[in-house]
Amino acid sequence: MTTTRTEDWKAEWQPVIDAVGQDFSSGETVFGADPVERGAIRRYLEPLEFDCALHTDPEAARAAGFDDVTMPYTGVVAWTIPPLWRPGEVLFDSDDRDAQPVQTPINNQDMPLGPRTTGFFGTDIDIDFLRPVVAGERIGRRGNRLLSCAPKETSVGRGAFLKWESDVVTESGEVVARIRIGTYAYVPKNETEASDD
């Protein structure tokens, strides 16, 4: 293995680096699988034992100026993810220990630039909230702006740390939050070692 070959993989990420600032969403809004509803909020709160009247008591929420109970801010990601699976589809076509889903709206399978990667995970998230979401609203993400791309080899493989930004919107188009998600898209170490041989 030569130094040149080792560094060639980084050059494959240059088109992605050059695309920083570009919106990869084609301007569309992708809505969550379901509207926010009281029962789902209750089930979300149960394992957390998160007791707040704004999320559980419609009268308390109305007294605070809301139309209904509010979704916990931490639920924003869950309620903006479109369905991962639909009847008749196969989500996992392998029973391997580190099997990845065949398709998922939270990876970079549809990334038109850069090298093909087979591994993917989230690294960090930060969200600016403009107002709470209330039961009955449906929210989604509008935009998918690439903020940064930093190629790096890690203990899991070769890839790039990417930062993405989207607006969280209601069906009427009102922006209720802005979300920035960090990801690491990579080729697992065992795959890169095989290609370097």
Residue 51's contacts (CB-CB under 8 Å, 6 or more residues apart) are: 45
Whole-number average pLDDT of the chain: 89
Q: Is the pLDDT of residue 197 over 60?
A: no
Query: Which stretch of 87-91, 160-164, 170-174, 192-196 has the lowest confidence by average pLDDT?
Result: 192-196
Q: Is the pLDDT of residue 107 over 70?
A: no
List the domains of the chain with CATH numbers: 3-36+83-196 (3.10.129)
44: helix, strand or coil: helix
Stronger pLDDT, 9 or 108, i.e. the higher one: 9
| pLDDT tens digits for range 3-14 | 445 568 999 999
d(CA 176, CA 98): 35
Predicted pLDDT at 83: 86
Predicted pLDDT at 101: 81
d(CA 112, CA 15): 10
Angular region, 96: left φ>0, alpha ψ -120 to 50, beta rest: beta
> Using 50, 70 and 90 to split pLDDT, how confident is the model at 28?
confident
Q: Are 171 and 138 in contact (CB under 8 A)?
A: yes
Stronger pLDDT, 176 or 94, i.e. the higher one: 176
d(CA 63, CA 8): 61
d(CA 133, CA 81): 15
DSSP state of 132: -
| pLDDT tens digits for range 36-65 | 999 999 999 999 998 999 999 999 999 999
Which token pair is 120?
């993917």
Distance of CA 42 to CAs 48, 51, 58, 134, 170, Å? 10, 10, 12, 13, 21
Predicted pLDDT at 160: 96
- Across residues 159-183, what is the average pLDDT? 96
d(CA 177, CA 141): 9
d(CA 133, CA 169): 10
Beta carbons within 10 angstroms of residue 70's beta carbon: 23
Q: Is the pLDDT of residue 136 over 60?
A: yes
Q: Is the pLDDT of residue 142 over 90?
A: yes
